[in-house]
Amino acid sequence: MALADWVRSFRLQHEKAKRGGLAGRELSDYLAGRDELARALLAAQRVAIPPGQKPRRTLRVARALQADLDFAVKAVRAMTVDVSPAGFGALLAAPPRVGDEAKVTLKLPGQEPLLATARVAEVKPLAGSARAAFQFVGLGEEEAERLERFVFDAVLAQLAQAA
């Protein structure tokens, strides 16, 4: 099957999955397709998949979303630079400390906000700001699935623009 045909077929499965219309073999084929597409994109980006993690949970997409971060000592509003089902990157005026946790409200377009806890995994100082990588802590399966769908919506939109 040609790549364009596979993407077209996957897009139809994705839309059906978003409506809750997949079950059994169809659902497992769709999830395998998400892993296959994620694995190909991660290989193209030269991103390693952490041991034991599914490729579809590792895949990040560049998206600017409002993120309200409530650290124990202060609240901060930031914009994400990328998002994945495992976490997100954001630009902040002041660098947080690695290991700090925050309650996060992530505004997803056309959906209820995602409420979660995230831990600062990495901080890179920049001129006048900092880029922080956040990892979700204890994110439930339903919320991880919402983020995964959001990421694949974005990936499919990018593929449609490139075609």
Higher pLDDT, 13 or 163: 13
**pLDDT tens by residue, 46-96:** 888 888 888 888 889 999 999 999 998 899 999 999 999 999 999 999 999
Enter the pTM of the model.
0.87
Between CA 155 and CA 147 the distance in angstroms is 12
CA distances from 128 to 19, 93, 99 (A): 43, 7, 22
Domain with CATH 2.40.10.220 in the chain: 66-137
φ/ψ of 30, rounded to 5, equals: -65, -45
Over residues 14-24, the pLDDT tens digits come to: 889 888 888 89
pLDDT of residue 163: 61
Assigned CATH topology for domain 66-137: Thrombin, subunit H (2.40.10)
Supply φ then ψ for residue 141, to 5 degrees. Answer: -60, -40
Beta-carbon-side half-sphere exposure of residue 109 (alpha carbons within 13 Å): 8
Angle between helix 141-162 and helix 3-18 axes, rounded to 10 deg: 140
Judge whether residue 121 has pLDDT over 90: yes
Buried b (16+ CB within 10 A) or exposed e, 36-73: ebbbebbeeeeeebeeeebbbbbbbbebebebbbeeee
80 contacts 106 by C-beta, under 8 angstroms: yes
Structure letter (DSSP) for residue 22: -
Q: Using an 8 Å Cβ cutoff, are 99 and 135 in contact?
A: no
